[in-house]
Amino acid sequence: MDWERRLPPLAEDALDILAAAAEDETKSNDEDGGDEGGGSKVDFTKDEATAILVADEDFTEGDATYALEVLFQRGHIYYVDDEVYITPTDD
């Protein structure tokens, strides 16, 4: 079956916020002479990802923890040690 379970709205919002933060960080790195390959692979620690979400007024720390867990369980993010990476998509 070729379908994906829909994310809860809170997790969708969290993914959008993290993707925007990663994009902003990539643009900043490119402007500062970062990765010459046309973009940096941006990651956050779990604490940084939580802080990014909590900085949005719609998220509490509990909401952020829940959203990160849902995103991980559904394969939208993955962890390497304490680093959080957004899973690349075909979009």
Domain ranges within the chain, ordered by starting residue: 9-27+43-86
Residue 7 DSSP label: P
Q: Express each pLDDT in 45-86 by its tens digit.
A: 999 999 999 999 999 999 999 999 999 999 999 999 989 999
pLDDT of residue 76: 93
Is CATH 1.10.10.10 the right assignment for the domain spanning 9-27+43-86? yes
Rg of the chain over Cα atoms, rounded to whole angstroms, equals 14
Q: If you ran DSSP here, which 8-state letter would residue 87 be given?
A: P
Name the band, by pLDDT with cuts 50, 70 and 90, for residue 1: very low
Mean pLDDT of 31-40: 46
42 pLDDT band, cuts 50/70/90, is low
Tokens of 7: 């994310």
**How much is the pTM?**
0.79
Q: How far apart are CA 91 and CA 54, in angstroms?
A: 27
